[in-house]
Every structure is written in structure tokens, then in C-alpha cells.
């Protein structure tokens, strides 16, 4: 079921133009077409104005300092320069991003509130049966970036690679705890997949964001953690944590000496945490298209590209149509993965 790269967890490639053909996937297509039609009608009224005329909020469902926050603030700074208006990141952590998504889904569709979403938005649709915000109830604007995952442990942990780590877990089944940025976060699900695929057992300890989870790891409350490659970078450089392996198919440029799961001889996955921007329902199409172009320009700018490289991330900006197709595909993949793992959160 989890052999090599056939595992059904997200394989986050840059959204291709061909992916737009999948936008007619059952479920999203009818809602999306109606939403875009309504947005286009509203856009006629907007076209005579000069958006943006005041600051714009990027609402993020995780705490400051985490991998999503780092890229969101990078984007906000560049957008502020391009739009000649302040773009401000507002952190609203909790419920694996559901709180922030809920706030934006009920925000005024005036182009001044957007959701800075992570892959958790698609995962929540598969994990929560009652409380998740359906991605189809938001308007996809554009993707921004994606980051592979890394497994890290405290410097004192008696393992330097996957094989030694797996040996420790096999000798102590169910006795080790692993932290994550939250229940149902991609880091949580990826850890569950690696554990199950390799016959290992550990106890999940969810936190409210990567930074909080990493502090739990440093403090000894947990023994390992899967996270985006950029999140623990400063702690690794400072000698407090060490990376054991990455979940991507290729080594991370941040950790060139750290092997992939495949290189380690393990049952592997190819997973990356992706990010993007969504708008409230009925946001005028003209605003969505303008914001999408501004995001694409920002992510393609040399300062942003250099900053992404320094974080081990890569840009994924495309168009609203392509981002819609990409998210639709991810929701379907996550539902399959969640069912195979038997994970449900409500």
C-alpha cells in the first residue's frame, strides 16, 4: 500500500497547465462555475474602482515562526511593495487551520481579506466530518510555495539516520512520542504513513504550530518530529536538533548530507507541504485575477526566489484555474490516504 512513491499522499509538484483539465472533477466544478459567474458579475462594479485602497489581511491558521508564517510574511512584504498598500499577516491558530479558514469564509468579499492556506485545508476536508471548512466554499487565488518534510530529533537522541531511528522505535514500541503542528497537519499524516509503512509505532502529540511543537521536542516532551525543512533550520544550525531523513524523492539542498527514505532502504513517500491563497466566496473575479497575477509576480521576483532557496522551498504560483484543479486533486488524494490510515478527527 505504501511502497515507494506510489503512496497516495500528496506528491506536490509544481501545478502544470494540464492540471487545469481536472478542474471539472465532480463536486467542485458546479460550485466553482457558479461562484466564478457570481464573482464575474460583481467584478463589473469593482472595475471602476482602484483596488486596493486600504491594507489587506492575509489570515494564517498557524502561529508565528512556523513554515507557513515564514513564507506568508515573505509574500506579504513583496505584495506590499507591488500594490503600494500594506499587506499584513494575521495569525489565527487553532484546529489545524480550520479557525482561520472559517473566518475568511465568512469575511466580506471585498478584496481586503484573504486566507493564506496550507495543505491542511485539503487534509481537513478528509479528516473532519463536521467542522472542516470545505475548500470548495472558498475561491482559489493562487499557489505560493511548497516545502519537503524532514524528520528531526534532539541532538542527544541515539540515532543518526533512518535505520538507527527505526531500530530505536522497534525496541521501544509505543513508548516514543512525536510532535506535530496540529492534528491532521501534513506533518502528522506523513509521520503516520512512514510509521505504518515501516511497521513502527509511536504516539502522536499535537501542538498549535511548528514552533510550539519544536519547543516540545527540545524540552523532551516528544522524541521526534516531522516538519517542513525550513522550520527547524535554525535549531539544527545551533546544534540543538539533528535531521535524520527527508520525505522527498531528492535530497534537500538545506541538508545535502541527509538521505531520503528511499536511499535509506525504507518504504518511502514523496511528500511536500504546499501553500497558497484563497479568497472569501463571491469575491469579484477581477480582484481574484489581479491578486493571482500579483502573487505570481511576487513569487517569481529575485528577492523572493532567493529567500525561498534559503528555506529549501520552491515557488508554485500559476493561475486561479490551475490552483483550483490542484486543490481538487489534493482533496481526492488525501481522502484516499486518510481512509487507508483510518484517521478521523471528529
Full residue range of the structural domain in which residue 92 is found: 11-147+274-341
- Mark whether 107 and 208 lie in a shared domain: no
Q: Is the pLDDT of residue 187 over 60?
A: yes
Q: Which of 2-6, 40-44, 94-98, 145-149 is predicted with the least confidence, judged by mean pLDDT?
A: 2-6
Q: Which of 37-41, 83-87, 188-192 is predicted with the least confidence, judged by mean pLDDT?
A: 37-41
- Mark whether 138 and 171 lie in a shared domain: no
Q: Is the pLDDT of residue 321 over 70?
A: yes
- Mark whether 35 and 61 lie in a shared domain: yes
Whole-number pLDDT of residue 31: 54
Q: For residues 258-281, give the mean pLDDT.
A: 91
Which residue stretches of 157-209 are H helix? 162-171, 186-197
- Residue 241's closest CA among 166, 179, 196? 179
Q: What is the CATH number of the domain that holds 307?
A: 3.40.190.150
H/E segment holding residue 68: helix 67-83
- Mark whether 174 and 197 lie in a shared domain: yes
Residue 11's pLDDT band, with cuts at 50, 70 and 90, is very low
Whole-number pLDDT of residue 82: 97
Q: Per-residue pLDDT tens for 135-170?
A: 989 999 999 999 999 999 999 999 999 999 999 999
Which residues does 293 contact at the CB level (< 8 Å), separation at least 6?
none
Cβ 286 vs Cβ 47: under 8 Å:
yes
Residue 329 lies in a domain: yes
Which residues does 6 contact at the CB level (< 8 Å), separation at least 6?
none
Selected residue with higher pLDDT from 13 and 242: 242
Residue 255 lies in a domain: no
Eight-state DSSP code of residue 323: H
C-alpha cell at 5: 512513491
Q: For residues 80-108, give the mean pLDDT.
A: 95
H/E segment holding residue 328: helix 320-341
- Mark whether 130 and 156 lie in a shared domain: no
- Mark whether 128 and 32 lie in a shared domain: yes
Cα–Cα distance, 232 to 68 (Å, whole number): 13
Q: What is the pTM of this model?
A: 0.78
Q: What is the CATH number of the domain that holds 217?
A: 3.40.190.10
- Mark whether 118 and 131 lie in a shared domain: yes
Residue 2 lies in a domain: no
C-alpha cell at 282: 463571491
Residue 313 lies in a domain: yes
Cα–Cα distance, 147 to 187 (Å, whole number): 11
How many folded domains does the chain comprise? 2
- Mark whether 122 and 195 lie in a shared domain: no
Q: Is the pLDDT of residue 254 over 60?
A: yes
Cβ 87 vs Cβ 56: under 8 Å:
yes
Q: Per-residue pLDDT tens for 303-318?
A: 999 999 999 999 999 9
Q: For residues 178-183, give the mean pLDDT.
A: 90
Burial of 26 (0-12, 13-18, 19+ CB in 10 A): exposed
Residue 323 lies in a domain: yes
Residue 69 lies in a domain: yes
Q: Is the pLDDT of residue 130 over 90?
A: no
Q: Per-residue pLDDT tens for 27-67?
A: 455 555 455 555 544 444 444 368 999 999 999 998 898 88
- Mark whether 234 and 154 lie in a shared domain: yes
3-state secondary structure (DSSP) of residue 276: strand
Task: Characterise 210 by phi-psi region: left (phi > 0), alpha (psi -120 to 50), beta (else).
Answer: alpha
Residue 119's pLDDT band, with cuts at 50, 70 and 90, is very high
Residue 187 lies in a domain: yes
Whole-number pLDDT of residue 9: 47
Whole-number pLDDT of residue 17: 39
- Mark whether 172 and 75 lie in a shared domain: no
Cβ 271 vs Cβ 6: under 8 Å:
no
- Mark whether 238 and 298 lie in a shared domain: no
Eight-state DSSP code of residue 185: -
Whole-number pLDDT of residue 35: 53
- Residue 184's closest CA among 128, 244, 233? 128
Selected residue with higher pLDDT from 177 and 8: 177
Q: Per-residue pLDDT tens for 208-249?
A: 888 999 999 999 999 999 999 999 999 999 999 999 999 988
Whole-number pLDDT of residue 6: 36
- Mark whether 127 and 171 lie in a shared domain: no
Residue 280 lies in a domain: yes
Amino acid at each position: 500500500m505504501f511502497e515507494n512513491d506510489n503512496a497516495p499522499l500528496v506528491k506536490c509538484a509544481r501545478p502544470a497547465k494540464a492540471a487545469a483539465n481536472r478542474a471539472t472533477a465532480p463536486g467542485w466544478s458546479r460550485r466553482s462555475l457558479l461562484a466564478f459567474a457570481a464573482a464575474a458579475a460583481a467584478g463589473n462594479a469593482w472595475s471602476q474602482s482602484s483596488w486596493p485602497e486600504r491594507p489587506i489581511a492575509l489570515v494564517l491558521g498557524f502561529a508565528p515562526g512556523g513554515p507557513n508564517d515564514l513564507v506568508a510574511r515573505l509574500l506579504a512584504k513583496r505584495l506590499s511593495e507591488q500594490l503600494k498598500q500594506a499587506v499584513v499577516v494575521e495569525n489565527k491558530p487553532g484546529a489545524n487551520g480550520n479557525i482561520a479558514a472559517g473566518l475568511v469564509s465568512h469575511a466580506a468579499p471585498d478584496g481586503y481579506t484573504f486566507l493564506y492556506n496550507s495543505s491542511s485545508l485539503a487534509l481537513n476536508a478528509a479528516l473532519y466530518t463536521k467542522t472542516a471548512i470545505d475548500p470548495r466554499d472558498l475561491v482559489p487565488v493562487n499557489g505560493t510555495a511548497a516545502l519537503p518534510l524532514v524528520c528531526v530529533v534532539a541532538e542527544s537522541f541515539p540515532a543518526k539516520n533512518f535505520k538507527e531511528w527505526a531500530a530505536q522505535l522497534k525496541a521501544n514500541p509505543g513508548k516514543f512520542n512525536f510532535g506535530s503542528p496540529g492534528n491532521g497537519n501534513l506533518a502528522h499524516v506523513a509521520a503516520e504513513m512512514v510509521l505504518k509503512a515501516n511497521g513502527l509505532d509511536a504516539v502522536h502529540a499535537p501542538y498549535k504550530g511548528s514552533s510550539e511543537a519544536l519547543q516540545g521536542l527540545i524540552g523532551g516532551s516528544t522524541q521526534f518530529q516531522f516538519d517542513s525543512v525550513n522550520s527547524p533550520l535554525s535549531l539544527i544550525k545551533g546544534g540543538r536538533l539533528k535531521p535524520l531523513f527527508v520525505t522527498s524523492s531528492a535530497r534537500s539542498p538545506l541538508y545535502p548530507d541527509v538521505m531520503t527514505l528511499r536511499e535509506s532502504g525504507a518504504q518511502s513517500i514523496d511528500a511536500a507541504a504546499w501553500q497558497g491563497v484563497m479568497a472569501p466566496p463571491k469575491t469579484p473575479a477581477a480582484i481574484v485575477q489581479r491578486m493571482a497575477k500579483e502573487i505570481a509576480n511576487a513569487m517569481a521576483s529575485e528577492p523572493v526566489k532567493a529567500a525561498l532557496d534559503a528555506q529549501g522551498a520552491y515557488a508554485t504560483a500559476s493561475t486561479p484555474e490551475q490552483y483550483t484543479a490542484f486543490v481538487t486533486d489534493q482533496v481526492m488524494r488525501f481522502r484516499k490516504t486518510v481512509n487507508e490510515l483510518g484517521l478521523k478527527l471528529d
